[in-house]
Chains A and B, each alone.
Chain A
């Protein structure tokens, strides 16, 4: 193995990248768009959910509850219905995503200190929005009942204490601080984006050489497959690091995501992760003869990695088999590392098992892919 030949391949690759005018665009614009999309849209926060209201109780208490919805920016009252039918129509016509119905006797139950049900109708076709809206609704109901009880206690000091609550409160910590989800997601975007990008770049670049015939040509020169692979993939390693800096930059400077950890720990984790992504790209390139095949294969490889990473679906709520599989997924460990360095600021003393796992997976994949690459030249 000579360093000179690795350097020649590296230099050649850099010249090609420099000449590829689209590359600059492809490497910079999509990540920024992704981070903006995730930063703004995927924060799991909902505002102004269109809501219809039907108050059949017509009491002080019911009007108070309704007004809390009116003044919440989470909900926008689009319809004050006069009967049940108007509510049904409202939901059917998609004017309202959610409807609140207060039945007669609501206040009476409250005054007796009993649980007073409020009917909520939800347009299930957008279940995500609906579920989140339900969370806010719980919050409003809980505040209402708390206020009502303190109020009631003050007015009737000697009366019986009220123990009833309107609605039980659930999952409060998640939804009430909306920023948390953004903080959670934006670092995650770094991992998924680097995975997709580097796997694609690597597999396409090598498959293209196979397709164009330069690979066969090169292999009749004295160059060793390992030399070729190192020189060829090192630019993508650098690009990977660059992407991380770019997305992290946008995340911290634009979205104000904190970065409390040690950048060197993140650099180590990123390097180990890139090892795996490069190996996956290389592995795919050995299975594909054309860029088209590579495109399809990437899709089928990257998507499961994405799904089984804990990026959006918690690993703990997956079936056991999938949970086990996710231990083989480099993205899983990288997400832990990246979130921990960004948000918690923990160092190697905590993250070493994840680093070790990444290193093991990365070197195994790399060894397999290099062996396969040699074979694929025959």
Chain B
């Protein structure tokens, strides 16, 4: 048993190079027990590579990984007993039924039959999949496949769960099931590391690590990350969003502009001063627009804002 204040997972200086690219460079972070730790970043940022090294299936070129007191790099087999890794593309045996898949994974972890049956029921119930136990995995919907993958990953009650974009391409209902399961796992003390492309999911994480080009750029709670963002975010609705975007881009005091569903989001340095200024300019340019509203930034705004900042400096 580890002391309560000791992190569950400690990663230091983690580095992985491939021919031609450095996929991950010097990543250092800790994850506490019972966290839902989010890995976010654009394509190719190195999220999957981090996960695979943590899962013990890929050897890092440098750095250390400790889960509890197990050195994952030195003894991946020992680590595998306590963790579960669900790859970006979970490999289910499509010619096996839901039950057979679960049984197979349980057997590989040598879960006793009785225990397995006790666990399978509630997991299937939580996923709303009890009716499909005899269905071939290949005939499940995308969302159900992912949920089955999660069930298979959970059948040996791991203490650490590594999920690589588990909800990509999953319907909203299944996503909700998925997160309900994650929350209940967290309550029972499971530590979860999840990468996601959905930023609404990122907001649900206890902490977020923002990766970009193999480097860990920011790592904090979603709330504090938002506070990091310089300037104020303005939401402007418009029927001519593209024109509006063009008109705002590069103006004095406008730090970034991003197209959103019904208009644009713009970051300005000093809202009190810029709101009237911009309003006037847009009216003069005859660009249709609604009111300039101050809003709290979403994770997506944060990304764009933070990474843009990086590029500028």
Contact = CB atoms under 8 A, between A and B. Distances in A.
A2 B91 CA distance: 23
Contacts of A378: 57-59
B94 A219 contact: no
Given A220-B56, A220-B57, A222-B109, A15 B91 contact: no
20 contacts: A4-B107, A4-B110, A5-B107, A5-B108, A8-B107, A12-B96, A12-B100, A15-B100, A19-B95, A213-B90, A213-B91, A214-B91, A216-B87, A217-B90, A217-B91, A220-B56, A220-B84, A222-B110, A377-B57, A378-B57
Interface of A: 2, 4-5, 8, 12, 15-16, 19-20, 209, 212-223, 377-378
B80 interface: yes
Contacts, number: 68
Contact of B95 (A8, A20, A218, A223): A20
Given A15-B100, A214-B92, A217-B87, 12 more contacts: A5-B110, A12-B93, A12-B104, A15-B96, A209-B91, A212-B94, A213-B90, A214-B93, A219-B57, A221-B108, A222-B77, A222-B80
B55 interface: yes
B93 A221 contact: no
Contacts of A8: 104, 107-108
Interface in B94-137: 94-96, 100, 104-105, 107-110, 136
Contacts of B251: none
A221 B105 CA distance: 8
Contact of A220 (B85, B107, B136): B85
A184 to B, nearest CB: 41
B89 interface: yes
B260 interface: no
Contacts of A5: 107-108, 110
A218 B90 CA distance: 10
Task: Categorize the interface residue count of chain B.
Answer: 20 to 34
Contacts of A217: 86-87, 90-91
Interface string B226-270: 000000000000000000000000000000000000000000000
Q: Which 3 A-B pairs have the closest CB atoms?
A: A214-B91, A213-B91, A217-B91
A15 B95 CA distance: 8
A222 to B, nearest CB: 5
B91 A218 contact: yes
Contacts of B58: 378
A12 B84 CA distance: 21
B281 interface: no
Nearest to A377: B57
B12 interface: no
Contacts of B92: 214
A5 B84 CA distance: 18
